[in-house]
Amino acid sequence: MKPIQQPASDARIVILTGAGISQESGLETFRDPDGIWSKVRIEDVATPEAFAADPDRVHAFYNMRRKRALTLNLEPNAAHKALAELEARWPGEVLVVTQNVDSFHERAGTTNLIHMHGRHAEARCNHCSHVVPWSGDMSVDVVCEGCAKPGGIRPNVVWFGEMPLQMDRIQAALFECDLFISIGTSGNVYPAAGFVGLMRKMGRGHTVELNLEPSTGASLFAESHYGKATDIVPRYVAALLNDQT
Ligand code: BV8
């Protein structure tokens, strides 16, 4: 890996992750040639309109992905573990903002974590917004324990056209961060794809892209390292921490 630009030892770090960090754990990405959106249309399974039109189809799509993510004994990989080690050993604050709905970051030990697009492991009621942990299949027959109505239970994920979660907290962290690292995301989905542009507009902080290949926003990053996440993320984190020892 080419030399990294070392931040101050108390730098506040915000890390954005996408599907690429979970690819080597066995989960499909979205926009790679054989990715999820090459097999099904966003408009058919990942919008509120799709759920209203055909809830069974949307539930089947998420039931299949939840089952794969939660029950196929898939494990966090070295990249997830490296970010957990960085949080544990870095003197300054480290916040992971993930677009992913899997649970690999928390299972690897990351605690300061925001799932801005929600989580497979939760259900939410469209009638009363009650959120509950969930691991099995979901269907329109499920009765919400909050409002006792059927038909409203849906995956607690953020669909296209819905507001991502905890955006105020994310923006506050970006306004103060000294180092913004983007890992395993193609930079196609907003507002996440706009975070690096926000950093540039503020004219502060250093920006780094760690990805298999240059993302749509690659030119906006001050530093970049390309390769598989399980290779470049542990090496980048080791370089950050080496200067701490
Ligand atoms: C909203 C849910 C507004 C669960 C997902 C401008 C501003 C604001 C909004 C928009 C805008 N322009 C357009 C919009 C609308 C839309 C949008 O961005 N559309 C795109 C398609 C143009 N955005 C929205 O609708 C968002 N909501 O803006 O609300 C609003 C305002 C007021 C009131 C109400 C609402 C909501 C977006 C969230 C949608 N939900 N997921 C689920 O099904 O999973 S998005 C989905 O895409 C996933 O979350 C995924 O994580 C995310 C981004 O994809 P990536 O993670 O980047 O994955 P991808 O496959 O694309 O790339 C993988 C990368 O990894 C590649 O670069 C690859 O090279 C790399 N890679 C692969 N293998 C490896 C690797 N890297 C390293 N190692 C490897 N081994």
Q: How far is the CA of 18 from the centre of ligand 1 (A)?
A: 8
Pocket lining for ligand 1, CB < 6 angstroms = 18-20, 23-24, 29-32, 35, 46, 99-101, 117, 157-164, 184-186, 188-191, 211-213, 215, 228-229
Summarize the confidence of residues 12-22 as an average pLDDT.
98
Give the whole-angstrom CA distance, residue 225 versus residue 239: 12
State pTM to two decimals. 0.96
pLDDT digits (tens, 9 = 90+) for 205-217: 999 999 999 999 9
From first CA to last CA, the distance across the chain in angstroms is: 19
pLDDT of 245 higher than 60: no
Give the whole-angstrom CA distance, residue 216 versus residue 242: 31
pLDDT of 244 higher than 60: no
Q: Which amino acid is at 85?
A: E
Give the whole-angstrom CA distance, residue 25 versus residue 83: 15
Q: Which protein residue's CA is at the shortest distance from atom 72 of ligand 1?
A: 20
Residue with tokens 């470049």: 232
pLDDT digits (tens, 9 = 90+) for 169-197: 999 999 999 999 999 999 999 999 999 99
Work out whether strand 131-133 and strand 153-157 pair parallel, antiparallel, or are unpaired. Answer: unpaired
Confidence at 139, pLDDT banded by 50, 70, 90: very high
pLDDT at 68: 87
